[in-house]
């Protein structure tokens, strides 16, 4: 039973990563986004743009908590991963209409979903 869940979770994570990297680089960009932005120096903006930026942590924690809730309710790690990844993808597709599709946000959601699936699998042991 454990191997089946691991394969399902791995498949969901692989699909999420494929969706991130398969999208064209300029998808969702407008004419205004083609202009170079004036940014503060790297030392000032490092905390805002890295993997531990507050926005990325919010995406991770939301996917983790929603995935954990789904996984505990269904007792299926695959439901934890699949549900949270689906919601993360829907959020980024929705953002594409207003601003832009952010692969980093989606990746943070996928990592959160994967952690939730691992937690649910560990609870099943």
Q: Which residue has the tokens 């791995």?
A: 10
pLDDT at 66: 94
pLDDT in tens, 4-35: 555 566 665 555 555 555 545 454 555 555 66
pLDDT in tens, 32-43: 556 677 766 766
R_g of the chain computed on alpha carbons: 16
Contact 91, 66 (CB under 8 A): no
Collapsing DSSP to helix, strand or coil, 122 comes out as helix
Q: Give 47-78 as a DSSP string.
A: HHHSTT-HHHHHHHHHHHHHHHHHHHHHT-HH
Neighbours of 55 (CB within 10 A): 13
């Amino acid at each position: 039973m454990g191997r089946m869940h691991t394969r399902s979770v791995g498949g969901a994570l692989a699909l999420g990563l494929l969706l991130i990297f398969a999208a064209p680089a300029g998808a969702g960009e407008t004419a205004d986004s083609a202009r170079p932005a004036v940014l503060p120096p790297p030392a000032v903006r490092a905390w805002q743009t890295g993997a531990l930026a507050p926005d990325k942590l919010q995406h991770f924690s939301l996917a983790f908590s929603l995935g954990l809730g789904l996984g505990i309710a269904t007792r299926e790690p695959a439901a934890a991963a699949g549900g949270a990844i689906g919601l993360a993808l829907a959020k980024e597709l929705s953002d594409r209409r207003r601003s832009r599709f952010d692969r980093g946000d989606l990746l943070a959601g996928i990592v959160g979903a994967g952690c939730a699936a691992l937690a649910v699998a560990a609870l099943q042991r």
